[in-house]
C-alpha cells in the first residue's frame, strides 16, 4: 500500500508502517541475542544474513510483532522487502528536496502566443506540442546548504565564491551558483536524481495552458530585472505568489537553471541526441535570473545557451527524478 495509509498504527514516536506493508532491512547481522553493537554484527560483512523487521503484507500477527526478527542474505531481492532511513539528530540527508509531481501529458513548447510577452528569440520557434512523461521536479533550486553536504561527503570542489571553501551561513538558503553543468550533473548523480530535460522543465513551469510566466500573464512575481549583471539572489521560495501551476517555485528569475538538454533547434525531440550527456555541446539554461534585463528572459518559453563548463553568479539548477506509478508528491 502507499506509505502512511495506516496512521492509527503509528509507533510511540510517530513512525509509520513499522508493522506490515514491507519487511525492512536493518544494518544488523542476524546473530543470537543479547544484542551487542560492538560484537561485530554492525560491521557490514556482505556474507552474513541481515535482520529484517516489521513483517510484510503477506504475514499474520505473529510476524508483525515489534520484537519479531528474521534473517535474510544481503543479496535477497523480493517484492515484499524494503527499507527506511535513519540518521543522527540534526544530520542532513543526501537528498532533502521537496519533490513535486509534474504529471504526464502534452505541453506546448516554443514561442508564446501572447503578444504581451514581447519579441521572442528565433530559438523558440516553431511552437510545437510534445508529450512529456510524468516526472518529479524539486520545488526549488538546489541551495548552498544542500550543496555543502555534497561537497563534504564527496570531496567535490566547493563553488569559488565560498571563502576558503567554506559556505557563508548567510547564503545557506540561497540557490547555489558558480556551478557548471558538470557540477550540477555530479550533484544529481550523488543525490540519486538527474537534471530535468528542457521539455520537463517547461511543462513544470507553464502547465498546459501556454501561459506567459509560471504564475500567469500578469505583473512580475519574481526576482528578475536588475539588468547589467546587477542585483543578487534571494533565498529560495521567496516569491510563493510566483508558483507554477504545479507548485514549483522560482521557475522565473533568481537564477538561470541548467537542464540536461543540449541547445539544439526546435522542434524538441528527446531521441535526436540532444539528451546525450557525452556530446559536449552547449546546454540549455531556463528561467532567467535576477541579472536579466527584463521579464522577457523569464518567460516560460525563453531559452538560453551556455558552454557546459561555464560558472556564473546567476546560474544554478534544480533536480528531477523519474516518476513511477506508485509514487506520490511530497508536497
What confidence category does residue 117 fall into, taking pLDDT thresholds of 50, 70 and 90? low
Rounded to whole angstroms, the Cα distance separating 41 from 295 reads 59
With 90 as the cut, is the pLDDT of residue 182 above it?
yes
Rounded mean pLDDT of 175-189? 97
Tally Cβ neighbours within 10 Å of residue 121. Answer: 13
Rounded mean pLDDT of 181-191? 96
Grid cell at residue 168: 557563508
Partners of 70 in beta bridges: 52
- Report the mean per-residue pLDDT for the chain: 90
With 80 as the cut, is the pLDDT of residue 259 above it?
yes
Kindly report, residue by residue over 296-318, the tens digit of the pLDDT. 899 999 999 999 999 999 999 99
With 50 as the cut, is the pLDDT of residue 92 above it?
no
pTM: 0.70
| List of residues 6+ apart from 203 with CB closer than 8 A | 102, 105, 107, 132
Rounded to whole angstroms, the Cα distance separating 100 from 138 reads 6
Distance of CA 227 to the CA centre of its chain: 28
Rounded mean pLDDT of 26-45? 93
Q: Is the Cα torsion angle 193, 248, 91, 323 positive or negative in sign?
A: negative
Rounded mean pLDDT of 253-266? 97
User: What domains are there in the chain, each with its CATH number?
Assistant: 1-86 (no CATH), 99-322 (3.90.1580.10)
DSSP one-letter code for 296:
G
With 90 as the cut, is the pLDDT of residue 201 above it?
yes
Amino acid at each position: 500500500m502507499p506509505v502512511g495509509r495506516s496512521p492509527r498504527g503509528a509507533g510511540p514516536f510517530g513512525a509509520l508502517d513499522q508493522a506490515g506493508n514491507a519487511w525492512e532491512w536493518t544494518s544488523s547481522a542476524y546473530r543470537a541475542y543479547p544484542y551487542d553493537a560492538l560484537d561485530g554484527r554492525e560491521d557490514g560483512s556482505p556474507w552474513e544474513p541481515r535482520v529484517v523487521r516489521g513483517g510484510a503484507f503477506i504475514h499474520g500477527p505473529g510476524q508483525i510483532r515489534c520484537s519479531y526478527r528474521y534473517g535474510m542474505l544481503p543479496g535477497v531481492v523480493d517484492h515484499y522487502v524494503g527499507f527506511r532511513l535513519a540518521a543522527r539528530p540534526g544530520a542532513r540527508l543526501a537528498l532533502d528536496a521537496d519533490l513535486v509531481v509534474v504529471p504526464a501529458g502534452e505541453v506546448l513548447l516554443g514561442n508564446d502566443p501572447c503578444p504581451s510577452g514581447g519579441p521572442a528569440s528565433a530559438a523558440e520557434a516553431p511552437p510545437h506540442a510534445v508529450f512529456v512523461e510524468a516526472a518529479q521536479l524539486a520545488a526549488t533550486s538546489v541551495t548552498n546548504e544542500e550543496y555543502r553536504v555534497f561537497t563534504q561527503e564527496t570531496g567535490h570542489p566547493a563553488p569559488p565564491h565560498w571563502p576558503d571553501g567554506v559556505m557563508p551561513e548567510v547564503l545557506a538558503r540561497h540557490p547555489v551558483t558558480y556551478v557548471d553543468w558538470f557540477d550540477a550533473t555530479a550533484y544529481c548523480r550523488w543525490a540519486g536524481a538527474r537534471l530535468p530535460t528542457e521539455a520537463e522543465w517547461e511543462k513544470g513551469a507553464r502547465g498546459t495552458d501556454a501561459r506567459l510566466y509560471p504564475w500567469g500573464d500578469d505583473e512580475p512575481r519574481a526576482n528578475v530585472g536588475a539588468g547589467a549583471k546587477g542585483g543578487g539572489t534571494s533565498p529560495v521560495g521567496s516569491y510563493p505568489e510566483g508558483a507554477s501551476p504545479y507548485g514549483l517555485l522560482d521557475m522565473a528569475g533568481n537564477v538561470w537553471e541548467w537542464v540536461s538538454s543540449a541547445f539544439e533547434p526546435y522542434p524538441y525531440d528527446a531521441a535526436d541526441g540532444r539528451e546525450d550527456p557525452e556530446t559536449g555541446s552547449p546546454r540549455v539554461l531556463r528561467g532567467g535570473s535576477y541579472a536579466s534585463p527584463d521579464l522577457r528572459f523569464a518567460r516560460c518559453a525563453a531559452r538560453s545557451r551556455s558552454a557546459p563548463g561555464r560558472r556564473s553568479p546567476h546560474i544554478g539548477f534544480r533536480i528531477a527524478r523519474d516518476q513511477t506509478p506508485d509514487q506520490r508528491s511530497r508536497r
